[in-house]
Amino acid sequence: MKQRSLAESGFERRSKLTKRQRFLNEMDVVMPWAQLVALVSPAQPTLGPRGGRVPFPAETMLRIHFMQQWFALSDPAMEEALHDIPAMRAFAKLDAGEDALPDESSILRFRHRLEKHELAGQLLATVNAVLEDKGLLLRQGTIVDATLISAPSSTKNETGTRDPEMHQTKKGNQWYFGMKAHIGVDAESGLTHTVQGTAANVNDVTLAHALLHGEEKHVFADAGYQGVEKREENQETPVTWHVAMKVSKRRALPDTRWGRMIEKAEHAKASIRAKVEHPFRIVKRQFGYMKTRYRGLAKNTAQLTVLFALANVYQVRRLLMPEAQVRP
């Protein structure tokens, strides 16, 4: 049997900084760990007078929870990754030779504690408060939008039924089954400040008022929010709504000076609304969140809220990095 070399213990002859390591190194620097750990620590159990298994530190479990979101890992997959990938163990501040590694049950229970204490929304608020203090989050305007999140439509499970809180809806000529993620985004920075989860068949315009933080003066939305200013819940809202014109009406604009002016105005509104697509891209493409993982709106909305909080930090990571560590 071939003898193991020192390379297996981290003494590689030519080590390479992988994409995963680079990402985790950046997140280790830019995440506001002190504030986030202080928020979740009260929810983490402590060792009782009768002894028992020593609970893992709140920071360790929070770091593991964030890695689950960044790399789209289930609880069992996260446990295996901690055993297989040294970079992930290092990020969680664990040493395989000295520390016990959390199993999937410990990871599951930590997520349930976050849900029980409704900490997902507080995590988003804490991250945004830090970004606002650094001047990266303004509150002059808001962009509202929604995206469909597919849910498993198969009934081959223990109950033999689909998730009763998910519904189907038609977009274009395509039917979807799942939920919607409604978000309110800062019009200047493109950072998400509000997240709401509903079934897929809920109309976007009915959630517009719930996506405002109350300090904005202007709200931008696509054509799906036509008539939002006439709804009863928005009558007392002191904002100016900038809703896109329907495509059919826009195509019918006359080729006159008046028509060209309206077209330019629509183009200007569209350039502002484009910022709302960046958080969706990060959550779906960068973090790989393409389908709901859990049953029920509450659990999936909590996960989405954490994902958008992490997306906010990811969007401005270059601005948060110390100058000496910013890659060219």
Q: Dihedral, CA atoms, 287, 292, 297, 300, nearest 10 degrees?
A: -30
At 30-55, the pLDDT tens digits run: 999 999 999 999 998 876 666 667 78
Q: Does residue 191 contact residue 315 with C-beta atoms inside 8 Å?
A: yes
Cβ-Cβ contacts under 8 Å for 199 (sequence gap 6 or more)? 165, 166, 167, 179, 180, 297
Query: Is pLDDT at 8 greater than 60 in this prediction?
Result: no
Higher-scoring residue by pLDDT: 171, 113: 113
Neighbour-count burial for 131-167, b at 16+ CB within 10 Å, e otherwise: bbeeebbebebbbbbbbebebbeeeeeeeeebbebbb
pLDDT computed for residue 52 by the predictor: 61
- For the chain, give the percent of residues with pLDDT over 90: 69
Hey, which residues does 218 pair with through a beta bridge? 141, 240
pLDDT digits (tens, 9 = 90+) for 191-213: 999 999 999 999 999 999 999 99
Average pLDDT, integer, range 89-115:
90
In this prediction, residue 46 carries a pLDDT of 79
CB 214 within 8 A of CB 194: no
Q: Under a CB-based contact definition with an 8 Å cutoff, are residues 242 and 140 in contact?
A: no
Looking at the predicted structure, is the pLDDT value of residue 283 above 80? yes
- For 57-84, the pLDDT digits (tens) are 999 999 999 999 999 999 999 999 999 9
Q: CA-CA distance, 157 to 49, in Å (whole number)?
A: 41
- The β-bridge partners of 194 are 184
- What's the whole-number mean pLDDT along residues 131-143? 90
In sequence order, which ranges of the chain are alpha helices (DSSP H)?
19-30, 33-40, 58-71, 75-84, 86-91, 104-116, 119-133, 247-251, 257-273, 277-281, 297-315, 317-320
Q: Give the chain's domains with CATH numbers.
A: 17-47+55-116 (no CATH), 139-315 (3.30.420)
- What average pLDDT does the segment 111-139 reach? 94
- pLDDT at res. 327: 54
Asked if residue 178 has pLDDT above 90, the reply is yes
To the nearest whole number, what is the mean pLDDT of the chain? 89
Residue 103, pLDDT > 70, answer yes
Look up tokens 């295996």; give the residue: 80
> How high is the pLDDT of residue 2?
44
